[in-house]
Each structure stands twice: as C-alpha cells, then as structure tokens.
Amino acid sequence: MWNKSKEKAVKWCTALILAFLAFPAAAVTTQLIDGFEGGMLGSWWTVRNGVVPDDVDVYNAISARYNGGAGPQLYYPPEGSWMVVVESGDPATTIETSFNAANGATLQFSWFFHTIVDSHEGYNDSAGIVLNGTSMVLITSATTGQGVGGENTGWQEFSLPLSPGQVSLGLWVKNDAAFPTYDSQFAIDNIRVTYAVPEASTWAMMLSGLGLIGYAVGRQRKAPVPIR
C-alpha cells in the first residue's frame, strides 16, 4: 500500500514541478527611489565635493553649457522627462541617499557616461557607485574611446541584488587629476528597487506539492510493519 502511495505522490510532485517551471515564476513589483521627475534634486540627496547646480543638476534635456552646446542627444532620459547629471570633480563629485530594502530586492537604474577631450588628449575620468560603503567603478573614459568633442556610452542598465535592511547609495564621477579642465558627465535616471513576487498560481502549486509530500509521509508512518 505504501509503495503505491509513495509512487503516486512522487508522480504528482514531478508533474507539479514541471508545471511550476512552465508558468511565469513571479511578477515584478517596483519601489521607486528617484526618477527625478520633480525637476530638482530632492532633500533626501546629499551632495559631496560638488556644488548645486554647477556640478549636480536635474535636466529634461542636455544643457547648452555642456560640451559647448553640442551635448549628445542620447542624454534625453530613457524614462519620464527628467534625469540627474553629475559633472566630474577631483575629488569625486558624489550624490548620496539611503533607503530600506526588503528580502529579495534588486537595485536597478539607467546610466550614461559622456567624456570630453580636447586636441586628442586622452585622460582617465571614471564613474561608479558606492553601495553600503563599498565603491565600484562602472566605467572609465579609457573604455569609451577618444576623440575631439567627446565619446559616450549611450544609456546602460545597472542591476545588483541587495541584502535586506538599510541601504546607503552613492553615485559619483571623478576627474583625472592630470587633465582637471576636461569634465565628464554621469547621467542617472529611474533609480528603483524591484522585487520578484510569486504569482498566486505558483503559491498554489507549491502548497499542493507540500500537501502531497505530507500525505505520503503520513502514509509511511501508518504503514503496517510486516510480521516475519
């Protein structure tokens, strides 16, 4: 009796696992940290080693003062109408904020790096993030190419899993000390935290599978012991 029950439970669990893999595992919910749609840097941001609005500003298109009015059209934000633009300094110009993240969170944002060079003089500006005190470089001008008038990366997407709890986030861009007059710009937009939430059908399949396993275990405990 137990062997048949066990075999049946295993078949059902296998079928449920296959069905689980066939369905979308989760829906995505989004916690917006900042889309900069208010047209200004909010009070929840702190600016380090920079001046607002000279080094840090919020734009709905590239300002005429960037690159002598020849800023790349790709600076138009990928989401909404506004983004923040941070101009390089030495030490690094940084904007910082903090927020709470629950279990299963992923940090995401769009970014764009634009270098400016003159008379083919190469330099090594860089941009990146500081997450909970750990700094990581996203890009250096050496990887964007060189040329009079500047080079850019186009809009890129950043994504990184987060540990639950308080999160400290900094976004920075730094000048190469050898060429301090040539400033790069680091544009950031749509900073958000996403969570994968299981669909109702996924929960139902999981609970059904657990129920079948419990049933099989119960049958095993109740199975008669053969007399020899």
DSSP state of 68: G
Of 40-49, 112-121, 165-174, 206-215, minimum mean pLDDT range: 206-215
Secondary structure element (H or E) that encloses residue 208, with its range: helix 200-222
One DSSP character per residue, 119-168 reads: TT-----EEEEEETTEEEEEEEGGGT---TT-EE---EEEEEE--SEEEE
Write the pLDDT tens digit of every residue in 89-121: 888 999 999 999 999 999 999 998 887 665 555
Q: Which fold has domain 27-198?
A: Jelly Rolls (2.60.120)
Write the pLDDT tens digit of every residue in 43-70: 999 999 988 888 998 887 654 444 444 4
Q: Would you list the domain boundaries of the chain?
A: 2-24+200-222, 27-198
Tokens 């890129």 sit on residue: 156
